[in-house]
Structure 1
Amino acid sequence: MASSKKVFIIGPGFIGWNVLELLLSESYAVHALVRRKQHADAVEKSGATTVQGDLDDHDLIVKHVLQNDIIIHTATADHLPSVEAVIDGIKQRAKGGQSTIFIHTSGTSVLDDGSIGDFKGDKIYYDTDPDAINALPDDAPHRPIDLAIVKAGRELGDKAKFVIMIPPEIYGFNHQHRRLTIQIPTITRFALKHGYAGHVGKGLSVESQIHVLDLARAYIVLLQFIESAKPSELVKNPYFFCENGKEFSWKEVAEEVGKSLHAKGLIKDATPKEIPKENWDDLWGPYTAAVIGLNSRSRAVRLRELGWKPEEKGIWASYNEDELPEILAQEKSA
């Protein structure tokens, strides 16, 4: 039987909106922090109650943490003030004898080895090996925020349950939400502008992958496990990867994007090329290598042990059938 507890979702966007709807289908009461009224109206049609505000509104976040038993942060992996607000609210609840579950969304960019596309990395990370994750550099992408959560979990012990969901490259599309992921659509738009699909360096770096709807289901499986788990078990290992058992190289991404756009007559040559640094400003500027030039290989052992398994279509079927038509429609309207 599903829990009747209340959930506060921070940032019900590409990931979180799908999680929100699954929570509602499981009879959780859901409140969601959103920035824009238009988005609030859409989320309310899904059945949730919305709170308008932003990630820097410390007092507002604390207020709603105090009113909810479960907090799920899906807005961004890199906003420390909002996570600190969540932790402050959880500590206040703990003083009043109330336990809280906190699921934060990080990302496997934390595994970046600085390859800049030059080689396929040998290192594979398993979420059954927290020591390997804890050994990552403190200044790795997302890691400062993850460390704040790990520290708070250790300090609160059995008074709260903290976990960190660490997804890899997320793809997929919900036709009702019409929200796109970031990396591959951006590479597609770059190709449309410059006439070729590109990659960083040699494009040899490899990353794991997950469909957004498989990821959303994983949050529900994870939450229902956490509800009955011992806090000490989560303090020992708060990390959960989520991937579908497949990997791609960033050169493969450029090849597939180039092939698809060329087939539609949108670029003259499908051959992928290295993107010169002077064009990185059309991607992610100085962060481009860390976004699409990294080795990031993860294995979601723990979720599979809980019975979760990926079910959605593969990355290139999804791209050609769902994401690319939406990208082109958006480009046309723009």
Structure 2
Amino acid sequence: MASGKKVFIVGPGFIGWAVLDLLAKENYEITGYARRQEHADQIKASGATNTVLGDLNDKALITKHALSHDIVVHTATADHLPSVEAILEAVKQRAEKGQSTIYIHTSGTSLLDDGAAGAYKGEKVYHDNVVSEIDSVPDNAPHRQIDLTIVRAQKQLGEKAKIAIMIPPTIYGYNPHHGRLSIQVPVLTQYALKHGFAGHVGAGLPVESNIHVNDLARGYITLLHHLESTPASSPDILENPYYFCETTGDNEPSWVDIASLIGTELHKAGLIPDPKPRTIPPETYGDLFKDHTPAVIGLNSRSRAVRLRELGWKPIEKSLRESYIQDELPVILKENVDHKAFNGYHKAVAS
């Protein structure tokens, strides 16, 4: 689908850059909002028509550029309220002028965290075609306050805008043209290299759905085309903004399965003495995700992308296991870093 429509991508990083590549192939006019000139140059080479340098806290700048775009995609983080408010302000101002906007926000399935902290496999599975299932999560769940801000704005705007929330699970995959790794599994690998064993939170029994970044990017494009072609008055748009995007179905690996994969491969490479995974001592959570560690890599978060599949989307990329062995691990091991100095990932996590 070729298009002359203008897309503003806020945070074209690991997820958004992959989305940008696909939009460029379909001849969308893309403006990328980036923090660094180096990255702005990279996305320009990938097909961005324009780039804007700015911080997520610069609400006026984000609103200014969102005002001149028909489509806004926020992929920077699931937990930054000022940037979301800036986009919603632009959507409202455009609505007042009779201009409709498509806004796709990125949340994450940490939203579904049941507090298992590694202790058990949860039986609850969430389906995005049943809005009440997602609305049943507590208001204080991860990402939920941001999502609720968007849902409230959607209800106020009604048919004047088309708003959707993409909710990805654990993301994996590697694009050699981008040179960016995902978060959870690479961080667990770095932890293993530092501490000499592959680890999991608690018993490692919980499971989280997962998705390859390129399958996820195609999910955004499928969703965008659906929003473009569906009337704003459709109940499909007005009554349910939520979309999951997962590849695993009922074959979700547990966190101990993921630790076993890491342990086996690092042991095979002669980098740790024992392939068998072990429970991570809580006092070392600072080398992972600090106090958020149980909620990031010890949760049950089981989602089903019913709606995207009904639109014709399906995952086609490598499995998490194949991608880790063939793509991510070789990159991690080639990095010229002191693994002993690794002290975790302390920024926001999307999923």
Query: Normalized against structure 2, the TM-score is what?
Result: 0.94
- TM superposition shift of 1:3: 2.5
Aligned residue in 1 for 2:245:
242
Aligned residue in 1 for 2:15:
15
Aligned residue in 1 for 2:4:
4
Q: Deviations over 1:249-305 (max 9, x none)?
A: 000111000000000000001110000110000001110000000000000010000
State the alpha-carbon separation in 2 of the partners of residues 173 and 230 from structure 1: 36
- TM superposition shift of 1:235: 2.2
- TM superposition shift of 1:117: 0.8
Q: Deviations over 1:105-146 (max 9, x none)?
A: 100000000000100000000001001111111110000000
Counterpart check, 1:226 vs 2:231: no
Structure 1's consecutive aligned runs of 4 or more residues displaced over 4 angstroms after TM superposition are 331-334
Q: Deviations over 1:229-253 (max 9, x none)?
A: 2334212000000011241100011
Structure 1, unaligned runs of 5 or more: none
Kindly indicate whether the alpha-carbon contact (under 8 Å) linking 1:259 and 1:270 is maintained by their aligned counterparts in 2.
yes
Counterpart check, 1:32 vs 2:32: yes
Q: Deviations over 1:205-225 (max 9, x none)?
A: 001011000000111111000
Query: Normalized against structure 1, the TM-score is what?
Result: 0.98
State the alpha-carbon separation in 1 of the partners of residues 109 and 232 from structure 2: 24
State the alpha-carbon separation in 1 of the partners of residues 47 and 202 from structure 2: 46
1:266 to 267, 271, 281: 271
- TM superposition shift of 1:331: 4.3
Alignment RMSD (CA, Å) = 1.0
Kindly indicate whether the alpha-carbon contact (under 8 Å) linking 1:150 and 1:238 is maintained by their aligned counterparts in 2.
yes
State the alpha-carbon separation in 2 of the partners of residues 14 and 286 from structure 1: 24
Aligned residue in 1 for 2:198:
197
State the alpha-carbon separation in 1 of the partners of residues 337 and 117 from structure 2: 32
Kindly indicate whether the alpha-carbon contact (under 8 Å) linking 1:8 and 1:64 is maintained by their aligned counterparts in 2.
yes
Aligned residue in 2 for 1:45:
45
Q: SS in structure 2 opposite 1:207?
A: coil
Counterpart check, 1:297 vs 2:302: yes
Counterpart check, 1:277 vs 2:282: yes
